[in-house]
């Protein structure tokens, strides 16, 4: 039954990623991929809160499967992050490429830690 929870979460996460990415990117004229950055960091924050909630007993394994694996797995996108970083580098946009390559994992880790801190698990 876990596969169904993953599928349901992903069915929400994938369109949410697309819509959020387009909405954020439409508001920025810069070369930096703000839409992808935003969905990746948001997914990290949600996963941090969820992990803290599961670890503290406020949520169960079903929530982890539905929201962590399904929703966050489809909401976040390592492949698009990598592709957009490569495209920036290929166009000679070295600063935005480096900022994305370094900033996304660092800010994402900070978001996970913030999510854990919110739940009192860090």
Span 12-26, average pLDDT: 97
Per-domain boundaries in the chain: 2-118
pLDDT 10s digits, 51-95 = 999 999 999 999 999 999 999 999 999 999 999 999 999 999 999
CA distance 44 to 41: 5
pLDDT at 122 over 90: no
DSSP-derived secondary structure letter, 120: T
CA distance 112 to 21: 20
pLDDT at 9 over 90: yes
Q: Is residue 21 within 8 Å of 39, Cβ to Cβ?
A: yes
DSSP-derived secondary structure letter, 12: H
Residue with the larger pLDDT of the pair 20 and 122 = 20
CA dihedral 116, 113, 73, 20 (to 10 degrees): 100
Inter-CA distances, 5 with 9, 18, 42, 64, 72, Å: 6, 20, 20, 9, 12
pLDDT 10s digits, 20-56 = 999 999 999 899 999 999 999 999 999 999 999 999 9
Average pLDDT over the chain, rounded to whole? 97
């Amino acid at each position: 039954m876990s596969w169904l929870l993953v599928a349901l979460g992903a069915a929400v996460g994938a369109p949410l990623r697309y819509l959020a990415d387009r909405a954020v990117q439409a508001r920025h004229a810069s070369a930096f991929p703000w839409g992808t950055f935003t969905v990746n960091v948001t997914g990290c924050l949600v996963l941090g809160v969820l992990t803290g909630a599961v670890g503290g007993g406020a949520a169960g394994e079903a929530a982890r499967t539905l929201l962590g694996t399904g929703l966050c797995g489809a909401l976040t996108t390592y492949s698009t992050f990598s592709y957009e970083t490569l495209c920036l580098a290929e166009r000679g946009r070295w600063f935005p490429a480096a900022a994305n390559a370094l900033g996304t994992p660092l800010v994402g880790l900070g978001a996970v830690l913030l999510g854990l801190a919110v739940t009192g698990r860090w």
